[in-house]
């Protein structure tokens, strides 16, 4: 994996949890291969990703789209093979793995070539962590198993030449902590008041959960102000707001110093995101695949506020066209939409929650772990 955004590490951790459940004897080693085992300047990508997404999205978009062709990916593979193979080969030989799994788009073609040369017979699998807009760098035809999250991603894999028998449409691996509470009859408990009480929130006020991702990206302050003003103005849709700022400490301090007029809780990076989602009536987020998948599992309507050009573009119609949420890029329009959803008697939230549950793949991590263990068992 590599720490360019938080989603790749989260997917790896979810798979590690699933391996532990499926085979307690399995030993999982998670490695940031770009940061610690790639040549300069690739080993500094983790330093440039956040500033680029924050301030240079046009450049990111151009790079993503210009590198999207399969022939371009092959040319990049030929460029990086000579300079990367020695370090990667040393990594693999030091670990002596029985199976190599990639959860990052830049860690497929060249690493697979290195594994084939350094560790003949060791299977190599890719678990794609982009929902719909899958870059060709993910899709190596020679991979032993390719797990993708959606049917759309599966079609792209087939068009890239990955054999059908090696493609699994599994869903996105998400921690088992993201699972809705169930009653004794196996039905989902939809009452979120107990969750709000546990978090010290007002139990009777609807909760809008504003999530900014692990790095606290996007116009969070503008969205938060618009939400607070709209909720405060409409007495029929009064509610409360929770803002999760991730690792953006400056954003957290700025929001904590503001006067809101409605109940607002500001938090930084949290380890109990399932509790926050269980307490919420809807989530406001950019179109990150991890947050979308988690919200779907929790049966939480999704109000998308933006997307990273390239890999997150297809996530917007995935949510909207499946009836699990809506997209509004302007803070004022977004806030008005949220207030309308929260209006007493409006059936929209319940309808979208049902569609979210129908779209969710809560067992994806365990399904993928089982497929990977089966691949391992069938290897020479």
pLDDT score recorded for residue 79: 73
Distance, in Å, from the CA atom of 363 to the CA atom of 292, rounded to the nearest integer, reads 15
Distance, in Å, from the CA atom of 234 to the CA atom of 221, rounded to the nearest integer, reads 20
The residue ranges of DSSP E strands in the chain, in sequence order, are 100-102, 124-127, 145-148, 167-169, 207-211, 240-244, 264-267, 282-285, 302-304, 325-327
Average model confidence (pLDDT) across the chain: 88
Question: Which residue in 294, 339, 345 sits closest to 319, CA to CA?
Answer: 294
Q: Does the pLDDT value for residue 245 go beyond 60? A: yes
The residue ranges of DSSP E strands in 19-142, in sequence order, are 100-102, 124-127
Q: First and final CA of the chain: distance in angstroms? A: 25
User: Rounded to the nearest 5°, which phi and psi values hold at 32?
Assistant: -80, 90
Higher pLDDT: 106 or 184? It is 106
Distance, in Å, from the CA atom of 292 to the CA atom of 209, rounded to the nearest integer, reads 13
pLDDT score recorded for residue 183: 45
CATH number belonging to domain 7-174+362-378: 3.40.50
Contacts of 36 (CB under 8 A, 6+ apart): 43
Instruction: Give the pLDDT mean for 2-10.
Output: 82
- 180 vs 206, 209, 292, 298, CA distance in Å? 18, 16, 15, 5
Enter the pTM of the model: 0.90
Per-residue pLDDT reduced to its tens digit, 341-374: 998 889 999 999 999 999 999 999 999 999 999 9
Do the first three CATH levels of 7-174+362-378 and 193-359 match, i.e. the same topology? Answer: yes
Q: What is the DSSP string of 211-231?
A: E-TTTT-SSHHHHHHHHHHHH
Q: Are 162 and 143 in contact (CB under 8 A)?
A: yes
Per-residue pLDDT reduced to its tens digit, 35-48: 887 767 666 666 66
Considering only CA atoms, give the Rg of the chain. 21
In which residue are the tokens 């030091």 written? 94
Q: Where are the domains of the chain?
A: 7-174+362-378, 193-359
- Could you tell me the fold of the domain covering 193-359? Rossmann fold (3.40.50)
Which token pair is 183? Answer: 């009653």
Q: Does the pLDDT value for residue 184 go beyond 60? A: no
């Amino acid at each position: 994996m590599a720490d360019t955004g938080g989603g790749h590490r989260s997917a790896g951790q979810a798979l590690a949890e699933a391996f532990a459940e499926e085979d307690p004897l399995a030993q999982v080693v998670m490695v940031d291969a770009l940061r610690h085992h790639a040549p300069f300047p690739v080993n500094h990508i983790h330093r440039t990703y956040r500033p680029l997404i924050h301030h240079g999205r046009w450049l990111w978009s151009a790079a993503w789209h210009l590198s999207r062709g399969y022939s371009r990916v092959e040319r990049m593979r030929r460029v990086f093979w000579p300079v990367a193979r020695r370090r990667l080969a040393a990594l693999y030989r030091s670990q002596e793995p029985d199976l190599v799994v990639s959860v990052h788009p830049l860690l497929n073609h060249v690493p697979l070539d290195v594994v084939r040369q350094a560790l003949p017979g060791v299977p190599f699998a890719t678990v794609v962590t982009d929902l719909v807009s899958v870059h060709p760098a993910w899709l190596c035809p020679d991979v032993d198993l390719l797990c993708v999250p959606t049917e759309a991603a599966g079609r792209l894999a087939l068009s890239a030449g990955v054999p059908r028998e090696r493609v699994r449409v599994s869903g996105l691996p998400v921690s088992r902590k993201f699972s809705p509470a169930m009653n004794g009859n196996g039905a989902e408990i939809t009452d979120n008041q107990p969750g709000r009480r546990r978090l010290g929130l007002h139990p009777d006020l609807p909760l809008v959960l504003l999530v900014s991702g692990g790095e606290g990206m996007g116009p969070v302050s503008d969205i938060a102000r618009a939400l607070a003003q709209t909720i405060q103005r409409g007495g029929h849709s009064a509610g409360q707001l929770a803002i999760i700022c991730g690792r953006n400490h400056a954003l957290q301090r700025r929001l904590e110093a503001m006067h809101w007029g409605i109940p607002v809780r500001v938090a930084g990076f949290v380890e109990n995101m399932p509790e926050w989602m269980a307490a919420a009536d809807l989530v406001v987020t950019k179109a990150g695949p991890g947050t979308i998948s988690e919200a779907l599992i929790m049966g939480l309507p999704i109000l998308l506020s933006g997307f990273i050009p390239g890999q997150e573009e297809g996530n917007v119609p995935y949510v909207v066209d499946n009836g699990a949420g809506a997209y509004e890029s302007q803070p004022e329009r977004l806030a008005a939409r949220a207030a309308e959803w929260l209006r007493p008697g409006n059936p929209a939230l319940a309808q979208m929650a049902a569609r979210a549950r129908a779209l969710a793949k809560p067992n994806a991590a365990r399904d993928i772990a089982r497929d990977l263990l089966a691949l391992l068992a069938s290897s020479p």
